[in-house]
Amino acid sequence: MAGYFELVDAPDGGYRVRLIDGSGNLMAISVTFPTKRAAAAGVARAREIAGTGLIRDLSASQESAPLKQPPVRQHTTSPKNIGVLGAGRPAGVIGHKRARTHL
CA of 53: how far to CAs of 37, 40, 45, 50, in Å? Answer: 23, 19, 11, 6
The enclosing domain of 23 has a CATH number of: 3.30.160.160
Domain count, the chain: 1
* Residue 40 belongs to domain spanning: 4-52
Digitized pLDDT (tens) for each residue of the chain, 103 residues in all? 689 999 999 999 999 999 999 999 999 999 999 999 999 999 999 999 988 888 888 888 877 666 666 665 655 555 555 444 444 555 555 554 555 555 5
Q: Is residue 92 one of the residues assigned to a domain?
A: no
Residue 20 lies in a domain: yes
On whether the pTM is more than 0.85, the answer is no
CB half-sphere exposure, 10, CA atoms < 13 A: 15
**In this structure, is residue 59 part of a structural domain?**
no
Q: What are the residues whose beta carbons fall under 8 Å from the beta carbon of 12, sequence distance 6 or more?
A: 32
Can you name the residues that pair with 16 across neighbouring β-strands? 8
Q: Is residue 31 part of a domain?
A: yes
Give the C-alpha separation, 6 to 19, whole Å.
7
